[in-house]
Structure 1
Amino acid sequence: MPRPVTPSTRQRVTVITGGSRGIGAATALRLARDGHRVGICYEQDAVAARRTADAVREAGAEAVTVRADTSDEQSVDRLFDTVRDAFGPLTGLVNNAGVSGPLGRFTETSPHVMRRVVDVNVVGTLLCARRALREMSTVHGGLGGSIVNISSAAATLGSPGEYVHYAASKAAVDAMTVGLAKEFTGEGVRVNCVQPGSVLTGMHARMGDPDRAWKKAEITPARRPGEPEEIADAVAWLLSDEASYTSGAVLRVTGGL
């Protein structure tokens, strides 16, 4: 039986939200090696976004950077319009943008932080998925594609004493992944999710504990933090034709945690 038509038969064009640093930047470089044209979405750090785009170009691929707040619908539309105008029809989305706020007990977490986390991690992921599905779904005239959402092991661990609100937002990402896969796989769009464990990125310092990744290594069976590139490899596989029958998966990449 022949394989279905997949994005490999045309130019791969992938939007990566939160693409300037950490897992997003590593994913941009990994996808560049697979021949993707990459739209790097960032909210604040233009210098880091340009640095990642330059690295993608050095790897032989094309990149464009777009400043956007993924929790804002008009900003999301501008992001996708810019990438489409630069590279053509979309084939993939990596929903990586996320925030946590400072570490701390739930009762000490401000409602402002909670709302921002939900706005970016849940609403932003939904808005980007919605726009990508309107671009790629065959019902909407698209040619198919793939979405990979970035969740967290916190979604199942709960993260007591650190950021329960963040864990709850990532559990929502897992749920939307399953629901969207069931709704859109028949329309040519696979939807999957990666759940990273503790990974060596700058996010820990922004939460208030730069050494947190190594502290978490003590309770991780692998006895070390993950590297951003290890998460990027999982994302790249889910976007590839090798995962052509994989949709609705929540792939745990946690060193055994």
Structure 2
Amino acid sequence: MTRPVTVVTGGSRGIGAAVCLRLAADGHDVALGYVRDAGAAETVAEGVRAAGGRCVAVRMDTSVAADVDRLFDTAEDRLGPVTGLVNNAGVTGPLGRLADTDTAVLRRVVDVNVLGALLCARRAARLMTPRGTGVIVNVSSAAATLGSPGEYVHYAATKAAVDALTVGLAKELGPDGIRVTAVAPGTTDTDIHAAMGAPDRAHQAAPRIPLRRPGQPEEIAAAVSWLMSPDASYTTGTVLRVAGGM
């Protein structure tokens, strides 16, 4: 059987890297989009290949339409027809109150988390609709419903937009045979916390989480893989919360 070909954005680290490796283990070939760290991207690509999958890594920025087209074009040229998209790339900016957040940070968070997700979903829809099949999984956040006051209200707002995208696009593309879902992780133990200026944040949050620990990237990846699988064939328009009870 032909292996599914899945595009994963933000695939060089954290949840994205775990998704790439899990999908490869579950039979996918992977086109990995990354924005900066070529070495990390190649390490993930090697892991995909070790798991039996083919992989191409493409340096790109999801907020740039030409870059998105290049990622999908490379996937189609090198791996075959794209059957899936994991819209994972996202940024938070530094922790802080909205009143203290720089306009450039707000613009970048919206550009990557909302515009980037829209551009990638649009390209996937254009490819999948004529074929009558496909799966899109967006990576949202529990922040979309919690609001994240005092930390990153702006990030939470963009993830609420991702939830709306998921629901609306699922209804739009359902008649074309395309499923659209999302995973909403809670606090997860990745290096994104260091990037926002609080490297110990995931473990400091543990007492507030009903399961009393942060999630692991592999736990989020397992949910993504299930949503992309035939076992989820009647699941669309849903946001699956993987947040330890938050």
Task: Work out the CA distance in 2 between the residues paired with 1:116 and 1:48.
Answer: 22
TM-score (norm 2): 0.99
Look up the match of 1:125: 117
Q: Do structure 1's residue 64 and structure 2's residue 56 form an aligned pair?
A: yes
Q: Do structure 1's residue 227 and structure 2's residue 205 form an aligned pair?
A: no
Helix, strand or coil for the counterpart of 2:138?
strand
Kept in 2, the 8 Å contact 1:134–1:142? The answer is: no
Indicate the larger mover: 55-64 or 219-228: 55-64
Q: Do structure 1's residue 52 and structure 2's residue 44 form an aligned pair?
A: yes
1:105-254 to 2 correspondences below 5 Å: 105-137=97-129, 141-254=130-243
Q: Which of 16, 20, 43 pairs up with 2:12?
A: 20
Look up the match of 1:6: none
> What is the CA-CA distance between 1:35 and the residue it aligns to?
1.0
Q: Which amino acid aligns with 1:206?
A: A
Task: Work out the CA distance in 2 between the residues paired with 1:62 and 1:93.
Answer: 16
Task: Work out the CA distance in 2 between the residues paired with 1:209 and 1:11.
Answer: 39
Task: Work out the CA distance in 1 between the residues paired with 2:207 and 2:148.
Answer: 15
Look up the match of 1:37: 29
Task: Work out the CA distance in 1 between the residues paired with 2:88 and 2:148.
Answer: 19
Q: Which amino acid aligns with 1:25?
A: A
- Deviation per residue, 1:74-102 (Å, 9 max, x gap): 11000100010001101000000000100
Task: Work out the CA distance in 1 between the residues paired with 2:45 and 2:173.
Answer: 31
Identity of aligned residues (%): 64
Helix, strand or coil for the counterpart of 1:159?
coil
> What is the CA-CA distance between 1:10 and the residue it aligns to?
3.9
Segments of 5+ residues of structure 1 without an aligned counterpart are 1-8
TM-score (norm 1): 0.95
Segments of 5+ residues of structure 2 without an aligned counterpart are none
> What is the CA-CA distance between 1:222 and the residue it aligns to?
0.3
- Deviation per residue, 1:90-132 (Å, 9 max, x gap): 1000000000100011110011100100000000000000000
Q: Which amino acid aligns with 1:13?
A: V
Helix, strand or coil for the counterpart of 2:171?
helix
Helix, strand or coil for the counterpart of 2:68?
helix
Look up the match of 2:85: 93
Look up the match of 1:4: none
> What is the CA-CA distance between 1:11 and the residue it aligns to?
2.6
Q: Which amino acid aligns with 2:153?
A: V
> What is the CA-CA distance between 1:182 and the residue it aligns to?
0.4
> What is the CA-CA distance between 1:255 and the residue it aligns to?
0.4
Q: Which amino acid aligns with 1:35?
A: G
Structure 1 segments of 4+ aligned residues over 6 angstroms from their partners: none
Q: Do structure 1's residue 73 and structure 2's residue 65 form an aligned pair?
A: yes
